[in-house]
Chain A
Amino acid sequence: MDMPACHGVLVPVLALNPFTDPIGVIHYLVVGAVLFTAGVACMTLKRNALGVLMGIELVLNGANMNFVAFSSPYLRADGAPTLGLDGQVIALFVILLAAAEAAVALAITLNFYNNHATVDVDRADDLKG
């Protein structure tokens, strides 16, 4: 992180000793950001349709990480969670909808594989005008 605008706010975070100080919301947000970025990179980079599906799972987990972090009173400095239990309920719905999405997307992938004998998403150009 060599951004000069970000340097001033990074110092108090890095001054926290991760072995002795309790963690905060920001640690979870960083993990969520890494998961989201890895998922987006996976979605755009992979040519295997199942790799694209895995990228979607990573993105949804990054969002879930933020929801859980904001719903936890353990992580806030004032002990008052922003979302409360609502964050956990939404995270639960995200998990359920991810399962539904994976089922349909896998069925579509299998259908595509049966018709085209490949799972390369670059070959899925039947609708190209």
Chain B
Amino acid sequence: MTGGLAMGTFDVGSTMMLDTLLPMAAAGQWPPLALPSGAFALAAVNWHSVLFLLFAALTCGFAVAVVAADNVVRMALYLVFSLGSAAGLFFLAGAEFIGAMQLMIYVGGTLVLLVFGVMLTAQAPFVSIKPSSSDRTLAAVAGASLLALLLTAVFSVDAWRGPGAGVVPAPSATPLGMALVGVRVDDAPAGSPVTGRSGYMLPFEIVSVHLLVVLVGAAYLARAKRRKTPRAIDAVASSEPLDRVAAQVRAPGSPSQAPGAANRTAGGSSSALVGGGR
């Protein structure tokens, strides 16, 4: 949708101005938003590229902010912004279903889970565990080296450089759903060496069972444990008869009370708590 809009402005505006703008860019007059005549070349702006730059800056900036922040609550917030902007990048690449799933599963599900984890463990000493400054320096050097390596590898392939042709892709949700149930209705990419392409029925089923097993396992791991040191009421209950324990719960100040009174209020714990003073 956005690609089509951007292509419209691109076709109208910049095909006739590209002949004048490309030599300017090559000659170093950059950015050539002002035409040689001095007019502001708003029609030449490719809004698809501008939106890409906006979302890319948000994604990378908030990703670096996640690394730089010490407070774990702020890290979670920056991660939400970063992954939401990444969903915008997916929309701009024509993968609208992936972008929607990114927003729904990642931002709406996984990160909410992470935020719950942050809330459950955010005791005062753990909200910001600061790494040492030597670790920071080491991580900065290692990260810069890794980024330089990755960028060198990225820039070393000729086929990846250069602007895209701007072929607006067909909506991909229907072919994606058909591929997930095992039927491929999309065309093979031109020049693809693979002739017979399979659907994704089996990986879909494996992922389904995997999700089920994982959720059962997560619920088992995170279940409420029996306490190692019993509470006072449990300790009393293990050594005394049941009616005396109930009487103690009802009136802790007077342990010796009639068993009938305890049986009368044993029906509801709230009434036992409210009527504890009688």
Residues of A within 8 A of B (CB): 1, 3, 5-6, 9-10, 12-13, 15-31, 33-42, 44-48, 50-51, 53-55, 57-58, 61, 64-65, 68-69, 71-86, 88-89, 91-93, 95-100, 102-104, 106-111, 113-114, 118-120
From A9, A12, A68, give the contact of B93 (CB < 8 A).
Answer: A68
Complex: A9 Cα to B155 Cα, angstroms: 7
Whether A77 and B146, one on each chain, are in contact in the complex, defined by CB atoms closer than 8 angstroms, is: no
Most buried by B among A29, A85, A89: A85
Q: Does B262 contact A (CB under 8 A)?
A: no
- Asked if residues B83 and A27 are in contact (CB atoms below 8 Å), the reply is no
Q: Which of B64, B75, B125 contacts A51 (CB 8 A)?
A: B75
| Chain A CB within 8 A of B81 CB | no
- Measured in the bound complex, the distance between the Cα atoms of B215 and A73 in whole Å is 36
Query: A25-B164, A46-B131, A57-B79 known; A83 and B63 CB under 8 Å?
Result: no
Return chain B residues, CB-CB under 8 Å to A109.
117, 121
Chain B residues with CB under 8 A of A113: 120-121
User: Restricting to B176-229, which residues have a CB under 8 Å from any CB of A?
Assistant: 176, 179-180, 184, 186-192, 197, 200, 203, 207, 210-211, 214-215, 217-222, 225
Find A79's partner among B60, B146, B152, B165 (CB 8 Å cutoff): B165
Bound-complex Cα distance A65 to B162 (A): 18
Q: Tell me, yes or no, whether B46 is within 8 Å of chain A by CB.
A: yes
Task: Give the nearest-CB partner of A71 in chain B.
Answer: B95
Q: Is the CB of A80 within 8 A of B189?
A: yes
Main secondary structure of the interface of B (DSSP, over half): helix
Among B101, B117, B143, B152, the residue within 8 A (CB) of A50 is: B117
- Is A28 touching B93 in the complex (CB atoms < 8 A)? yes
Q: Which size bracket describes the interface of B in this complex?
A: 35 or more
What is the minimal beta-carbon distance from B54 to any residue of chain A, in angstroms?
Answer: 11
Task: For B63, list chain A residues within 8 Å (CB).
Answer: 34-35, 38-39, 58
B-chain residues with CB within 8 Å of residue A99 when the two chains form the complex: 105-106, 109-110, 211
A58 near B82 (CB under 8 angstroms)? Answer: yes
Measured CB to CB, the closest approach of chain B to A56, in angstroms, equals 10
The CA of A19 and the CA of B25, in the complex, are separated in Å by: 11
Alpha-carbon gap, A100 to B241, bound state (A): 47
> Across the two chains, which residue of chain A brings its CB closest to B97?
A88
Listed stretches B134-142, B231-239, B242-250, B251-259; interface member: B134-142
Whether B25 pairs with A84 at a CB distance below 8 angstroms is no
State which of A73, A104, A108 has its C-beta within 8 Å of the C-beta of B94.
A73
- Cα distance A81–B93 in the bound complex, in angstroms: 11
Across the interface, which residues of B come within 8 angstroms of A53, CB to CB? Answer: 114, 117
Q: CB-defined interface of B150-175 with A at 8 Å, one 1/0 digit per residue?
A: 11101110011111111111001001
Is B266 located at the chain interface by the 8 A CB criterion? Answer: no
Within 8 A of A (CB), among B14-36: 14, 17-18, 21, 25-26, 30-33
In the complex, A53→B110 CA distance in Å? 11
